[in-house]
Amino acid sequence: MEAANGFSNGGSTQGKPIKCKAAVAWGPGEPLVMEEVEVAPPAPMEVRVKVLFTSICHTDLSFWKGENERQRKFPRILGHEAAGVIESVGEGVKDLAPGDHVVPIFTGECGTCAYCESSKTNLCGTYRVNPFKSTMVSDNGTRFSVVDRSSGAPQPVYHFLNTSTFAEYTVLDSACAVKINPQAPLEKMCLLSCGISTGVGAAWNTANVSKESTVAVFGLGAVGLAVAEGARIRGAARIIGVDINPDKFTKGKEMGVTDFIESKACGKPVHELIRDMTGGGVDCSFECTGIVDVLREAFLSTHDGWGLTVALGIHPTPRMLPLHPMELFDGRRITGCVFGDFKGKSQLPLLVDQCINGEVKINFDGFITHEMPFSEINEAFRLLEEGKSLRCVLRL
């Protein structure tokens, strides 16, 4: 039997293990290895997804390198930006069915807990992102296994950020799978799993950038450029991009950056230059580097009285927030942001529809600098590590 969109409803595989290819990380910094893994059927309130496209984010790079020793867990299937089709669903899943087009999200939404019912947060009491978590919620087990080459016995392979998309099939909690319009191009929609949603949402939902706002973006990687894109769509009057690499200004201009500061060559602290450029500071700044000293510059670059700084970078350092409490008495504020403050399951489908009908024009193509087959994933990692790609989309 086939679903309405022509994709098999999983009748031949439903309830059975599936063997498929996955890029397995065996240790920090070691090349990913294409392994045949066994993917178990979904348990209650889980879904099994055939991954069609996945892309690589700096967070994947950080975990692959093992930059935070407490987050190391191997062997592991990384990956958290993807798009695919539901192959089968576990007991109790009512909102998803085989054949549905879905985008995995690393911070889930159950829809019923106090957090999900609150308009003040996009976190979920049960399925929020947890970088230390490497198993499924229902039983603390894994759905992946690989045959140990020495003993021949099955060995568990750990999960990553609720998603693990560097595999032809993956198992997700249903709270971490967003059903989207089947007309949406999946090779572009996979970017909504992390980078674009995080950056655009930070501008729209967290900072509420409006027409004539002034904005500074520290770090012009994919998330920083997505912030700029979100600010551009909202009509920001000035978008200042800050980076150590002047080559990034070309792509920045494409995403709406109006001014560029090469931070290592400006001759004075960046925040002083931004205050001079804007008559006191920007309305909003966004830190997208994960560097504590940059976070301080971003904070000081905002206007006293009303300036807001949004922290988006992942900070592996044990160093604490670089502020004195009295500095907050000048009216500047600072906050963090996860997934652009989008409630994934309840808000992303509308955003996808708005993109399809032209109501919202996000430059997805501008973020995709490379497209490769899944087998070339190590080359894609190299390109990202060397700063030669924004997003490399892998076709499975």
| Catalytic annotation present for 124 | yes
pLDDT at residue 314, as a whole number: 85
Query: Does residue 47 register a pLDDT over 80?
Result: yes
Q: Which residue has the higher pLDDT, 108 or 318?
A: 108
Residues 302, 385, single domain; the answer is no
pLDDT at residue 66, as a whole number: 84
Rounded Cα–Cα distance for residues 212 and 66 (Å): 42
In a domain, 1, yes or no: no
* Candidates 46, 81, 87, 168; catalytic one: 81
pLDDT at residue 317, as a whole number: 73
Pairing of β 391-395 and β 368-373: parallel
Answer with the one of 336, 353, 378 that is the final residue of a domain.
336
Rounded Cα–Cα distance for residues 285 and 308 (Å): 6
SS (H, E, C) 122-182: CCCCCCCCCCCCCCCCCCCCCCEEEECCCCCCEEEEECCCCCCCCECEEEEEHHHEEECCC
Answer yes or no: are the C-beta atoms of 187 and 214 closer than 8 Å: no
Residues 331, 362, single domain; the answer is no
Query: Does residue 198 register a pLDDT over 90?
Result: yes
In a domain, 246, yes or no: yes
| Catalytic annotation present for 392 | no
Rounded Cα–Cα distance for residues 210 and 234 (Å): 6
In a domain, 294, yes or no: yes
pLDDT at residue 7, as a whole number: 39
pLDDT at residue 71, as a whole number: 79
In a domain, 13, yes or no: no
Residues 350, 325, single domain; the answer is no
Rounded Cα–Cα distance for residues 102 and 180 (Å): 6
289-306 mean pLDDT: 97
Pairing of β 391-395 and β 46-55: antiparallel
In a domain, 59, yes or no: yes
Query: Does residue 354 register a pLDDT over 60?
Result: yes
| Catalytic annotation present for 58 | yes
SS (H, E, C) 24-42: EECCCCCCCEEEEEEECCC
Q: How many residues does this entry show for the chain? A: 396
Give one DSSP letter per residue of 201-240, joined into a string: HIIIIIS---TT-EEEEE--SHHHHHHHHHHHHTT-SEEE
Place of tokens 């894994």: 142
Q: Which residue has the higher pLDDT, 5 or 58?
A: 58
Q: Into how many domains does the chain fold?
A: 2
Query: Does residue 104 register a pLDDT over 90?
Result: yes
| Catalytic annotation present for 266 | no
Which among 299, 294, 218 has a CA at the least distance from the CA of 257? 218
Residues 186, 269, single domain; the answer is no
Residues 169, 213, single domain; the answer is no
Residues 152, 168, single domain; the answer is yes
Q: Give the lowest-confidence range in 13-17, 53-57, 147-151, 178-182.
A: 147-151
pLDDT at residue 12, as a whole number: 84
| Catalytic annotation present for 337 | no
Place of tokens 């439903």: 14
* Candidates 80, 159, 234, 296; catalytic one: 80
| Catalytic annotation present for 194 | yes
Residues 326, 352, single domain; the answer is no
- For 113-158, write each residue's pLDDT tens digit: 999 999 999 999 999 999 889 999 999 999 999 998 888 889 999 9
Tokens of 396: 């499975």
Residues 242, 294, single domain; the answer is yes
Banded pLDDT at 209 (limits 50, 70, 90): very high
* Candidates 46, 109, 124, 229; catalytic one: 124
The CATH number given to whatever domain includes residue 79 is: 3.90.180.10
In a domain, 9, yes or no: no
Instruction: For the chain, give the mean pLDDT.
Output: 94
| Catalytic annotation present for 80 | yes
| Catalytic annotation present for 190 | no
Rounded Cα–Cα distance for residues 237 and 231 (Å): 9
The CATH number given to whatever domain includes residue 219 is: 3.40.50.720
Answer yes or no: are the C-beta atoms of 288 and 314 closer than 8 Å: no
* Candidates 229, 288, 391, 392; catalytic one: 391
pLDDT at residue 364, as a whole number: 97
Answer with the one of 294, 317, 336 that is the final residue of a domain.
336
Banded pLDDT at 10 (limits 50, 70, 90): very low
| Catalytic annotation present for 355 | no
In a domain, 11, yes or no: no
pLDDT at residue 5, as a whole number: 38
Answer yes or no: are the C-beta atoms of 64 and 78 closer than 8 Å: yes
pLDDT at residue 67, as a whole number: 78
SS3 23: strand
How is residue 282 annotated by DSSP?
B
SS3 355: helix
Query: Does residue 199 register a pLDDT over 60?
Result: yes
Query: Does residue 261 register a pLDDT over 80?
Result: yes
Residues 374, 331, single domain; the answer is no
- Number of helices followed by number of strands (H, E) in the chain: 11, 17
Residues 140, 229, single domain; the answer is no
Answer with the one of 304, 319, 336 that is the final residue of a domain.
336
Query: Does residue 6 register a pLDDT over 70?
Result: no
Query: Does residue 4 register a pLDDT over 60?
Result: no
In a domain, 151, yes or no: yes
Residues 160, 263, single domain; the answer is no
Rounded Cα–Cα distance for residues 61 and 74 (Å): 14
Residues 181, 264, single domain; the answer is no
Host domain of residue 268: 207-336
Query: Does residue 281 register a pLDDT over 80?
Result: yes
293-297 mean pLDDT: 97
Banded pLDDT at 315 (limits 50, 70, 90): confident
| Catalytic annotation present for 370 | no
Banded pLDDT at 11 (limits 50, 70, 90): low
